């Protein structure tokens, strides 16, 4: 006998798609908003899903920017203004991007000092 309380997923609800997207990698708010819009979800429901992600800590532009900036610098793919440009292209605002670059420089310099010992 089937449970009558079980509901079919709502295909217009962006929450399941949001979780699937975030399981692959971290995204900026702007990137995730665009991904969900590209999938055809209603903008109002997308904003509600983004708000929920922020409340749960699943989405954090500062964390995303720091991880991306540090990764680019460690891999030797970008430094300085190139890191800032990359972060801006991924939808991170200027203030957060500048702070992430500053912190990434500190982390990468520490690692370089430690590796030279």
**Intra-chain end-to-end CA distance of the chain, in Å:** 68
User: Above 50 in pLDDT, residue 55?
Assistant: yes
Alpha-carbon gap, residue 39 to 28, rounded angstroms = 17
Alpha-carbon gap, residue 60 to 70, rounded angstroms = 16
Coil, strand or helix: which one is 5? coil
Q: pTM to 2 decimals?
A: 0.84
Q: What is the pLDDT of residues 80-112, one digit of tens each?
A: 999 999 999 999 999 999 999 999 999 987 566
> Which residues make Cβ contacts (< 8 Å) with residue 72, sequence separation at least 6?
78, 79, 82, 83, 86
Alpha-carbon gap, residue 59 to 103, rounded angstroms = 19
Domain residue limits, the chain: 15-56, 61-115
Percent of the chain whose predicted confidence (pLDDT) is above 70:
88
> Which residues make Cβ contacts (< 8 Å) with residue 47, sequence separation at least 6?
33
What ranges make up the beta strands (E) of the chain? none
Q: What is the pLDDT of residues 19-42, one digit of tens each?
A: 999 999 999 999 999 999 999 999
Which pLDDT does position 111 carry in this prediction?
A: 64
């Amino acid at each position: 006998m089937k449970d009558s309380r079980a509901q079919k997923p709502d295909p217009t609800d962006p929450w399941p798609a949001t979780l699937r997207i975030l399981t692959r990698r971290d995204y900026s708010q702007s990137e995730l908003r665009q991904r969900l819009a590209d999938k055809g979800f209603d903008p109002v429901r997308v904003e509600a899903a983004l708000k929920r992600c922020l409340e749960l800590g699943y989405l954090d532009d500062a964390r995303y920017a720091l991880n991306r900036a540090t990764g680019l610098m460690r891999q030797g793919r970008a430094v300085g203004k190139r890191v800032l440009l990359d972060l801006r292209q991924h939808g991170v605002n200027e203030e957060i991007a500048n702070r992430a670059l500053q912190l990434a420089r500190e982390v990468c310099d520490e690692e370089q000092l430690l590796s030279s010992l």
